[in-house]
Amino acid sequence: AEDSTFIQAERQGPVAIVRLDRPKALNALCDQLTRELSAVLDAVEADDSAGAVVLTGSEKAFAAGADIKEMQPKGFSDVFLEDFITSSWERAATLRKPIIAAVSGYALGGGAELAMMCDFIIAAESAKFGQPEISIGVLPGAGGTQRLARSAGKAKAMDMVLTGRTIDAWEAERIGLAARVVPTDSLMQAATEAATKIAGFSRPAVLMAKESVNRAFETPLAEGLRFERRMFHAAFATEGQSEGMAAFLDKRDAEYTHR
């Protein structure tokens, strides 16, 4: 993170706090920013001492979308051949460790899509979500039509994607896009607390739980249930299972080895 221009990364105990920091463009997700974000997330994934991530922006903007200045001159062959945007953008979605989006201000276009790639969204009261791509001649290209439809359902996805309408934090929570809404000035505290809690649990169990929930969106119910049960069985091969259950019975706090 030391050599990142547009990303600030810091640690709070086992939690990696990753901040988009391109204030002049409301954190518009230019190529360099997304490459830096991808590199920072690679480092967090590889770091055994990090148990969870909080991804955030500024108070005014989580991210106001892909960088329109960079995109405007591109043609079909440009975006097709470089497979814009898969390479670096998807890193948040492929992270195995839990990642929480702490959203204040604008989360528009690619910014909303980036937030939806995270495991869940904690929204400040100031948060505004939208997929305005339709208003600039395109459509969401980083999962907006798919993840929004899955979390919020067809009616809201169509409404937002076809009209470009921006919704506030409370509507986002109502439709299942945000997990919680918190006062704007306690956003980071709430997100860091949640991440710290997650990071304190046995890591194999956490990773198995995340992978299992994600299965729900990719398989029929019977297969998802089978996957979950096998993961549940596998949890009994971890030190966390014997320690967690012993600690409960001893009425003490568990001390996890994360193995």
* Catalytic-residue membership of 1: no
The reply to whether 132 sits near ligand CO8 by the rule CB under 6 A is yes
Distance in Å, CB of 186 to ligand CO8, minimum: 23
* Catalytic-residue membership of 133: yes
The reply to whether 93 sits near ligand CO8 by the rule CB under 6 A is no
Q: How far is C-alpha 33 from the chain's CA centre?
A: 16
For the chain, the farthest-separated pair of C-alpha atoms sits apart, in whole angstroms, at 65
Total residues found in the chain within this entry: 259
As given in the structure block, the two tokens for residue 1 are: 């993170």
DSSP-derived 3-state class of residue 110: helix
Query: Using CB under 6 A, which residues numbered 110 to 129 contact ligand CO8?
Result: 110
Region from 7-15, 25-33, 196-204, 225-233 binding ligand CO8, contact rule CB under 6 A: 25-33
Residue 106: CB partners within 8 Å, gap ≥ 6? 26, 60, 61, 62, 63, 64, 128
* Catalytic-residue membership of 190: no
CB 131, CB 148: distance < 8 Å: yes
How many residues lie near ligand CO8 (CB under 6 A)?
20
User: Of 51, 57, 109, 110, which residue is the catalytic one?
Assistant: 110
User: Which residue is at the shortest CB distance from ligand CO8?
Assistant: 109
The reply to whether 204 sits near ligand CO8 by the rule CB under 6 A is no
Query: Using CB under 6 A, which residues numbered 52 to 91 contact ligand CO8?
Result: 64-69, 85
User: Of 36, 113, 171, 173, which residue is the catalytic one?
Assistant: 113
Out of 106, 120, 227, 256, the residue judged to bind ligand CO8 by CB under 6 A: 106
Sort strands 128-130 and 167-168 into parallel, antiparallel or unpaired.
antiparallel
Rounded Cα–Cα distance for residues 97 and 119 (Å): 9
Could you give the strand order of the β-sheet that contains 120-124, starting from the edge strand earlier in sequence? Answer: 7-12, 15-20, 52-56, 99-103, 120-124, 180-182
* Catalytic-residue membership of 102: no
Distance in Å, CB of 226 to ligand CO8, minimum: 34
Contact set with ligand CO8 (CB under 6 A): 25-26, 28, 64-69, 85, 106, 108-110, 132-133, 136, 140-142
Catalogue the active-site residues: 66, 110, 113, 133
